[in-house]
Structure 1
């Protein structure tokens, strides 16, 4: 295969962390059904698939409506070398999957990713099932299928059940009915969404010194300029608990006057402000806010 042919093929590929049947796989298929999905062992491998040219995009889970943020992602994003160019909201409907012949009474342990187990905590507790953590949901389903042990079940997607030949013992076992995961779509090159009033999200990271009122001063410009912060997460980055890095999503384009003024004030009171992406807001945001 020539280099030109390889490049053309990779343009139609979107990478995700996990094995076939993972919720990230489902998100790829839902958001970009015309593209081929590429499973990767880790988030770092997913980023590398894009930077190396094996894939055009990466689909990365960022947070869940019931379990919160996805571990490690905020640490990895700034150094990924990629840019956020879109977002996707995927409804997560967990299925209790087991080998053929297993019954609810035979299940003793339930296997899945820590996030999925967290989203089904009350259900598995009521059923008396012992949770066992795996690297991803579909990988847990694959292992349960390979073992064929009627005492083991997996919490994963219906797609994973179909791929690995497992039966659905119980459907929609998540504790919260509106369980939804937000994904970001990443690319080697940034995009410049229309600056025409269309809803836009700007994502960035910044650091503040561990001194009184540092965060208050850094974020004051967003309040005074009427810029809505839709997400703000903090985490320690140097291991000494003296420097915090923040991940933030705001509504608006950096070229908007009020956003520009707010970012200028942020830069004055903080350091290492880095924009990770400017991209169209997903229509799901309007739906959950009751604007549909």
Structure 2
């Protein structure tokens, strides 16, 4: 009889050993560290376990960073390594039993064999829950810090008086940022123009009837997108004003100056902050 080929599942990423076990390669700069979510993809888990990786902040980078000391980084890194090792161990234990059952012809699978598989599945679930419970405080702490950083950046874009608009020589309405040099908009046009928040900018443009025909400075938009990091100015505009940023078309009237409720389902995973500014 032809032997059935058993398809092996991809293994969970394992923490590095040897030299890397001495500690994380990243280090805080100015008391801050870059924290990046990573999914541990493995077919044996119903949902994807999430762990945080860390990298050293680079000068001039707009990447999200969170407050962190060297000692705290080591605690977070150790917790993540232990979490991954625990998940790898339970995944391997279950894989061994599963593959042994898979090699057994269906008609030869006794109740005892199937019970062994069920026991292994139960152990995997219990050990996974235990490992996740141990790592959850670290995950929630980092997620909460990322949440606050996103909220601070979004608030800055909306509240700070960096925006301005002017009328070009050809009558075109030009929208720019006072703090972002523009290669396309001459300083003679932008200098001396009133500084305003994003809310004030839109209100003035609506009252003047120029919202739909405005030309936005590409350098200003690009700089804002970098500051927001994982969302764009167009997305922020749409969620604040219920308008399509590019088409300038009001999709739903709203007097609410806050974000609509909803957004991310997990603290700090990205997206919009469900509170007013």
The two structures have a TM-score, normalised by structure 1, of: 0.23
State which structure, 1 or 2, has the greater radius of gyration over its C-alpha atoms.
Answer: 2
- Kindly indicate which of the two structures has a greater share of residues assigned to helix: 2
- Kindly indicate which of the two structures has a greater share of residues assigned to strand: 1
Higher relative contact order (CA 8 A, sep 6+): 1
The two structures have a TM-score, normalised by structure 2, of: 0.24
